[in-house]
Amino acid sequence: MAACRRAGARFSVTTPVDTKIRRTVDGIPPDAWTPIRYPRAVWDETHRAWVSDAEIAEIAYTAFESGRHHTHGRLLVRRVRDQNTTAGQAELFPTWRYHTVFTDSPFGLAQAEAQHRDHAQIEQVLADLAAGPLAHLPSGVFTANAAWLTLAATAHNLLHAAGTLASTFHARARGATLRTHLVNIPARLARHGRGHITLHLPTHWHAQHPWHGLFTTAGHPPPGPATTTRAG
């Protein structure tokens, strides 16, 4: 962050909620929290669920106070209601999970927090690619790396487009899940006559309906607008 300052660049970094951060968050006044609702739900890695409601606030913060790299900025805090409840027991008081960002962004709270979340979504895409086709990079040839990167991006886009056509769940699934459910299918091919192929899928297969919906949509797209031609 000190290097960013010397270069005239802005920074926005996720911080761990350690003792100092927790003490700073506790100093935020109760009326400083602003409710927000995400246009698109955010994946919560802790609970493996999608969340769309949260509250945000900010407070002045200085990082590395005891060293020569001390940096003044803003601590953006997003808190999400904790969904951990015991069966049959009502919630006595709300509990929150906190996500903090240290930044010197010149933008307002809501815009700066949303911009940081956009960066996090890009990181999810990169992680998805790294767990898939980019796991084979790099090679010792620059042009081979460039070609493989282009193919990886094309495959990623096509795979997630297929997931969108398959079901709501698959529209948000990761690449590994899409490959397991929609690409690496446990099927058997059988040829009947010339050019007639039958795909035999397992009975009671969990991804039967999404895969069949994808196959039907991709193989039989909806008709376009009617057109007429006139002989001249």
Asked if the bond preceding 29 is cis, omega within 30° of 0, the reply is no
CA distance 139 to 144: 7
Domain boundaries, the chain: 2-130, 143-218
DSSP 8-class letter at 29: -
What local confidence, expressed as pLDDT, does residue 51 receive? Answer: 62
DSSP 8-class letter at 33: -
Contact 211, 187 (CB under 8 A): no
Six token digits for residue 26: 């506790």
Q: What is the CA radius of gyration of the chain?
A: 25
CA distance 62 to 72: 4
Per-residue pLDDT of the chain in tens (232 residues, 90 and over written 9): 888 888 889 998 888 888 999 999 999 998 999 888 766 555 666 656 556 678 899 999 988 877 777 888 999 999 887 655 554 555 555 678 888 999 999 999 988 988 887 776 777 788 888 888 888 778 888 998 899 889 998 999 999 999 999 988 888 888 888 888 888 887 888 887 777 888 888 888 888 888 888 888 887 655 555 443 444 3
Residue 141 amino acid letter: V
Q: Which residues pair with 199 in a beta bridge?
A: 189
CA distance 209 to 52: 27
CA distance 149 to 144: 8
